[in-house]
Structure 1
Amino acid sequence: MARPTLAILRIDPFLLWLVATVGAASLWPARGQAAGWIDILADIAIALLFFLHGAKLSRAAILQGAGNWRLHLLVFASTYLLFPAVGIAMTSLMRGWADPVLMSGLLYLTLLPSTVQSSIAFTAMAGGNVAAALCSASLSNLIGILLTPLLVTLTLNVEGHGGTATIHSVQNIALQLLVPFVAGHFLRPYIGGFIDRRKGLLMPVDRGAILLVVYSAFSAAVAGGIWTQVGVGDLMLLLGLSALVLAIVMSVNMGVARLAGLARQDAIVLLFCGSKKSLVSGVPMAGALFPPAQVGLLILPLMIFHQLQLLICAALAGRFARQASVLISTPAPPLPRSEADIHRAADAIGLPIPAACMPGVVANMALLDHHAGLLLDRNEGAAP
């Protein structure tokens, strides 16, 4: 068994790119015509990203995991009921103690869909049900394209954002995210092989699109004076509140998994898919839902939460993987099969076996040993 290391806790290089992008926008914000061109490039990159996500999504994998409807309902409830409830409670308690726009950003992140790539990656690493994770995360993103704007309308009251703007924003989100996703998925029979052979293609498009949107948003925020409103104390507060939100959701999900009697592999899906929030979906949605001058402030909590969830989930996935390897490498004690072994086991617990019953006991022990072997093979690599 490999010794555990701290490698899984290393800082994601993407965080450094995000920080560098925010720094570049702070020092050299895009203005005028340049800002317009960057917005156009960001929109094109986001549309391409969702097109590739749709083309990458295998219908067979969705159908394979779709039958586990109870698990999908639990993930959905965590993403769109538990998270918003925690967000509403926390921002209500913080009213008057923190910047209201930052608190709106904290609440906004709790309304977003789950991630796809990292949820599946951590589920696979921990030995969970990958097919169910793919189905849950993909459905969460599809539903979130329409549900998140509705939840924003119901829970957030951001200045300059009214009902008419909401309808227009939903149309923009559908055109920018849903239409490319659906188009990519329906073209999968023609381009799916190409996409599957070049899986690394998605990451630079994914991260490049986010960096473009973040640069655009923070350029507008710098023009609005973001760094005169946000200090180190605000960033530390956001980090603490984000950690608290994540801890509450993960704890509740683990408790629900035990109460629902979920198999270990399905419990891992609920833990990871039900506790993640998507930066990929959240950043472009914020640009469509909120006034440009507020987007930079509103996505700041999401950027902090994104890195925090990666660190915590990576640590947990590594721990589960090590536990699973111990389970696999530890052989189960053999069941007594011969008459002599059965007599010794029976004498050890003071259970007499009449001679007339011994042939039936031997046959039953052989059958039990056979079924135990099948069960252990089926659960090989299951999560803790």
Structure 2
Amino acid sequence: MSLRRFLPDNFTLCLLTTVVIASLVPCRGAGAQVFGWLTDLAIALLFFLHGAKLSREAVVSGLTNWRLHLTVLASTFVLFPLLGMLLKPVLLPLVTPSLYVGILFLCTLPSTVQSSIAFTSIARGNVSAAVCAASASSLLGILITPLLTGLVLQAHGQGGMSWHSVGEIVLQLFVPFAAGQIAQGWIGGWVQRHRPLVGLVDQGSILLVVYTAFSAAVLQGLWKQLPLPVLGGVLVVNAVLLACALLITRYGSRALGFDREDEITIVFCGSKKSLASGVPMANVLFPAHAIGMIVLPLMLFHQMQLMVCAVLARRYAARANVDGRKAASTARDVTVAD
């Protein structure tokens, strides 16, 4: 059982299979155009369903813990970009310039929603705050990520994002999301009852983007530009970023005076990056032939964060069980003494 937690999940296996298929049978010409249209439709539907699913009551109810939410947002949208830029002398020699752009893009993305909440629950953290923090990060990321990506890339001479790209993000992602929020009163219950459908659209849209992106990248000679040492370098860079984020959120939350439950929420919501948001955004922000190289670090980071946080969540839970037993034992001793 201890080995299973280190194995890739089913969706990661689907991602790897999609990359293999795109490498062997890349779409081109009219086929690529059709897949592009399907991808845009799937992404719009995805964000519409997420808008219809996200409970405004859950977001509003958690807003009272503003210190926690600001800490999570600071980790997501300030700490990560700073790490990506400040560690450039260490990170850049390990990867190619194109992959480093992918690393910087990864650093600007919002947190995950489902896995952040799930790991917070397993670790016995503040679940209601996690729902609010992760949801707020995902929503704000639609607007913050393209602007932040432009600023980070421009600061490092990579060229910034145009206002046209920001407008496309708003049109393709935020407008469907807002439409879903407006329609929530009519279809929110139906969406909640059919969560597997949202999951299917979620994963299907990502697989479509990955297939079209890697098809274009393969036709541009992706694998000739990505030898095994460079791929290993990406893994090292991801490991460094994740380790820094986990350590800073853990000890930083303690220094700020948060209790254990809030610390757990900050660690799991503030150290993650969303594949579900990142892949559609990359599809809008970057040229088709560059997307494969851009999203590769994110795909690897996705699996790495799941494996590491699964282990960390179990350790938090085990520690909570030990502390609970100690507290119960102390209470019994006091009762006997009385």
Give the TM-score, by structure 1 length.
Answer: 0.83
What is the distance in 1 between the residues matched to 2:90 and 2:334?
61
Query: Would you say the 8 A contact 1:112–1:277 is kept in 2?
Result: yes
Query: Would you say the 8 A contact 1:78–1:275 is kept in 2?
Result: yes
What is the distance in 1 between the residues matched to 2:318 and 2:6?
15
Matched, 1:70 2:53: no
Partner residue of 1:268 out of 246, 264, 274:
264
Partner residue of 2:177 out of 166, 174, 181:
181
User: Deviations along 1:80-124, whole A, 9 cap, x unmatched?
Assistant: 111011111223434455310111111110111111111111111
Question: CA-atom RMSD, angstroms?
Answer: 2.1
Query: Would you say the 8 A contact 1:160–1:291 is kept in 2?
Result: no
User: 1:5 deviation in Å?
Assistant: 4.0
Alignment match, 1:50: 47
What is the distance in 2 between the residues matched to 1:158 and 1:48?
34
Matched, 1:247 2:246: no
Alignment match, 2:143: 146
User: 1:328 deviation in Å?
Assistant: 3.7
Distance 1:100 1:161, change over 3 A: closer
Alignment match, 1:348: none
- Match runs of 1:103-114 below 5 Å: 103-114=100-111
Alignment match, 1:215: 211
What is the distance in 1 between the residues matched to 2:89 and 2:146?
20
Distance 1:172 1:158, change over 3 A: farther
Query: Would you say the 8 A contact 2:94–2:237 is kept in 1?
Result: no
Partner residue of 2:297 out of 295, 301, 315:
301
Look up the SS of the partner of 1:332 in the other structure: helix
Alignment match, 1:20: 17
Query: Would you say the 8 A contact 2:94–2:234 is kept in 1?
Result: no
Alignment match, 1:132: 129
What is the distance in 1 between the residues matched to 2:199 and 2:297?
23
- Match runs of 1:218-367 below 5 Å: 218-329=214-325, 331-333=328-330, 334=332, 336=334, 341-342=337-338
User: 1:254 deviation in Å?
Assistant: 0.7
Identity %: 50
Larger radius of gyration: 1
What is the distance in 1 between the residues matched to 2:170 and 2:89?
31
Partner residue of 1:169 out of 154, 165, 171:
165
What is the distance in 2 between the residues matched to 1:306 and 1:19?
12
Query: Would you say the 8 A contact 2:123–2:314 is kept in 1?
Result: yes
What is the distance in 2 between the residues matched to 1:247 and 1:97?
17
Query: Would you say the 8 A contact 1:71–1:270 is kept in 2?
Result: yes
Unpaired runs of at least 5, structure 1: 343-384
What is the distance in 2 between the residues matched to 1:337 and 1:232?
63
Query: Would you say the 8 A contact 1:158–1:290 is kept in 2?
Result: no
What is the distance in 1 between the residues matched to 2:311 and 2:28?
41
Structure 2 letter corresponding to 1:241:
V
User: 1:198 deviation in Å?
Assistant: 1.8
Distance 1:322 1:95, change over 3 A: closer
Alignment match, 1:349: none
Look up the SS of the partner of 1:261 in the other structure: coil
User: 1:45 deviation in Å?
Assistant: 1.0
Structure 1 letter corresponding to 2:209:
V
Structure 1 letter corresponding to 2:21:
A
Alignment match, 1:199: 195
**Aligned pair count?**
336
What is the distance in 2 between the residues matched to 1:336 and 1:324?
21
Distance 1:97 1:208, change over 3 A: closer
User: Deviations along 1:263-302, whole A, 9 cap, x unmatched?
Assistant: 2111111000100001111111111111211111111111
Structure 1, 106-115 or 192-201: larger mean CA deviation: 192-201
What is the distance in 2 between the residues matched to 1:161 and 1:81?
19
Look up the SS of the partner of 2:329 in the other structure: coil
Structure 2 letter corresponding to 1:208:
G
Unpaired runs of at least 5, structure 2: none
Alignment match, 1:371: none
What is the distance in 1 between the residues matched to 2:81 and 2:120?
23
